[in-house]
Structure 1
Amino acid sequence: MQYDITLTIEYSYDGASDHARNLLHLLPLHVPGVQDVTASLLTVDPMPQERWDGPDFFGNIATWVSHLEAIDAITMSLKTKVNRRSSPLGMDISAGLATLGSDIDAIQSLAPDAPHHFLGRSPRVAPAAEMTEFARQQIIEGMSTLSAVQAIGRALHDYLDFDAAATDVDTPAAEAFAHRHGVCQDFSHIMIACLRGIGIPAGYVSGFLRTVPPPGQKRMEGADAMHAWVRAWCGTDMGWIEYDPTNAIMVEDDHIIVAYGRDYSDVSPVRGVMRSSGGHDTKHYVDVLPVD
């Protein structure tokens, strides 16, 4: 599936900043055999005095920008063309859940996608007895790792309510789980905590999701949003798979990958520091358009 994607993020500040630095994860990722990026243009207005584009530790395309002069607003605009291939799951060749630890121990590497990075605590995901117990309740003796991932994802989809007003970007996963609501970021963080709690390496994927309008209605431009889902390591033979707990589906060609990380803190679209006063306002616009 080919897509034309546009994204605009606008920030406006009550008080002008005399200095601002931002780290952006907005450019889609080239994933061999899965996703090709045929064209991308990321602009920042006003133009920063310093800019550098390059890979981060996990291989994502990161953009560092610095404004050394006073600004009271900033706009990041992305235009990109992506070819996202369908990747059917095929046979379950994942490790048995009981033997997954042996597969992990056999990996003698700390490369960016090594499972060891995705097993323990990370900045936004901490072990929690309640979530670990929830995950254990979904396990059947003799279950494969893939089956466990799917069972936990489906159970969380049924257990949690999607509520865009219930949480914000800083809400801890344990709090969202306790109140049983949240958005895609919360669903993903909760599922990551559940999987890690029972020994399955799990990470966070940031990206875009093509949305389909109700029958008989026109597609609304700018109605899409950035999305998040989960990747889980299912053993040496199967490797990484991706699951969307917000929608209780395996990830397919409706999902466009931007960045991989341990949790949101590794791949947040915009993260930075600035010196200013007063509050600020932000607006996001996303359009994911399939190309015939």
Structure 2
Amino acid sequence: MSQLYDISLRITYEYAHPAGASRTLLRILPRALQGQQLLSGAVTADPAPSWRREGKDFFGNPTCEMAHDMPLSEIAFAFSGRVRKARPVAGLDLSGGLGALAQELAGVRSIGPESPHHFLGASPRLPAAPEIAAFARDTLSSALSVRAAIEAISHRLHSEFAFDPEATEVTTAAIEAFRARRGVCQDISHVMITALRSLGIPAGYVSGFLRTLPPEGQPRLEGADAMHAWVRAWCGVELGWVEIDPTNDMFAGADHVTVAYGRDYSDVAPTRGSLRSEGSHVTTHFVDMVPV
């Protein structure tokens, strides 16, 4: 079975004083994946750019580079499109014991985008954190499989973290959010990735969209008002990658539409770039994901 979604995203910047020429790299177009198909849609900007180029980054994420060679008091970047998402089939836990994962990793010779080796060590936003590592060790028993260990970490983080959009900013370090036990999906995912890597489990960051309105009778999911984040973890050669949403303590399903994969948020930020400006600016972020 599959579900169709109409998705709209709009990110707007308003500047107190007109900004000069800007260059922006966007990662807001959903990926084409097994079980996920972009049926229609486009990335746009208002005002229209002076120049643009489509491409892909190292991890295979669609990118769009834009340049605006004009004064800007306000600029908006948007995606609007339709996505077909298959409902994942719950499979058996084919992962081995946690102690055997290092040997399986040693047997992986690839260093391509899907290689687990890219997701095991520290990354730009996620240095090693002894406190989070101790938390991860304290959560597990030695008898757990890799997938069961991933579920256990997610469950404990979900039970101990308060979802609080006011507690953190996009630049907040994972260790700060961990100590406060408060934050949003980005913070909880960063903490979980750090915890899994400390156990020798390759883990990465997933950005995407989450269904805004839940099915009748089910609770609304946290993090659905903006682009969402969850975690991708490698369970060994047999099972491969699984995706889990620690903010909602669930494996990613038909309500999760993937936009980008990376080591942490720095690899998948929806917008990044440079411009000439002075004074303050205001950013607004709107997402709507509606089942058809």
Which residue is 2:241 aligned to?
240
Give the 3-state SS of the residue equivalent to 2:106 in structure 1. Answer: helix
Q: Assess if the C-alpha contact under 8 Å between 1:231 and 1:241 holds in 2.
A: yes
Which residue is 1:88 aligned to?
89
1:39-118 correspondence to structure 2 within 5 Å: 39-118=40-119
Q: Assess if the C-alpha contact under 8 Å between 1:98 and 1:142 holds in 2.
A: no
The alignment-based identity, stated in percent, is 49
Give the 3-state SS of the residue equivalent to 1:41 in structure 2. Answer: strand
Tell me how far apart the structure 1 counterparts of residues 6 and 215 of structure 2 sit (CA, whole Å). Answer: 21
Q: Does 1:21 align with 2:28?
A: no
Instruction: Specify which of 6, 29, 32 is matched with residue 34 of structure 2.
Output: 32
Q: Assess if the C-alpha contact under 8 Å between 1:260 and 1:267 holds in 2.
A: yes
Can you list the C-alpha shifts for 1:267-286, whole angstroms capped at 9, x where unaligned? Answer: 01111111100000111111
Can you list the C-alpha shifts for 1:190-229, whole angstroms capped at 9, x where unaligned? Answer: 000000011000000000100336969xx9xxx7321000
Which stretches of structure 1, 4 residues or longer, exceed 6 Å deviation after superposition? Answer: none
Give the 3-state SS of the residue equivalent to 2:194 in structure 1. Answer: helix
Instruction: Specify which of 3, 10, 13 is matched with residue 12 of structure 2.
Output: 10
Tell me how far apart the structure 2 counterparts of residues 15 and 135 of structure 1 sit (CA, whole Å). Answer: 47
* Residue 247 (structure 1) shift: 0.4
Tell me how far apart the structure 2 counterparts of residues 169 and 18 of structure 1 sit (CA, whole Å). Answer: 24
Which residue is 1:190 aligned to?
191
Change (3 A) 1:206 1:15: same
Give the aligned residue type for 1:12: E
* Residue 231 (structure 1) shift: 0.4
Tell me how far apart the structure 2 counterparts of residues 199 and 3 of structure 1 sit (CA, whole Å). Answer: 36
Q: Assess if the C-alpha contact under 8 Å between 1:131 and 1:190 holds in 2.
A: yes
Q: Assess if the C-alpha contact under 8 Å between 1:50 and 1:67 holds in 2.
A: yes
Tell me how far apart the structure 2 counterparts of residues 88 and 263 of structure 1 sit (CA, whole Å). Answer: 27
Q: Assess if the C-alpha contact under 8 Å between 1:162 and 1:183 holds in 2.
A: yes
Give the 3-state SS of the residue equivalent to 2:58 in structure 1. Answer: coil
Tell me how far apart the structure 2 counterparts of residues 263 and 204 of structure 1 sit (CA, whole Å). Answer: 5
Tell me how far apart the structure 1 counterparts of residues 80 and 69 of structure 2 sit (CA, whole Å). Answer: 26
Gaps of 5+ in 1: none
Give the 3-state SS of the residue equivalent to 1:137 in structure 2. Answer: helix
Q: Assess if the C-alpha contact under 8 Å between 2:30 and 2:62 holds in 1.
A: yes
Which residue is 2:259 aligned to?
258
Which residue is 1:277 aligned to?
278
Can you list the C-alpha shifts for 1:91-146, whole angstroms capped at 9, x where unaligned? Answer: 00012100000111111011001000001111111110110111111211221100
Gaps of 5+ in 2: none
Give the 3-state SS of the residue equivalent to 1:14 in structure 2. Answer: strand
Give the aligned residue type for 1:15: H
Tell me how far apart the structure 2 counterparts of residues 140 and 90 of structure 1 sit (CA, whole Å). Answer: 23
Q: Assess if the C-alpha contact under 8 Å between 1:95 and 1:236 holds in 2.
A: no
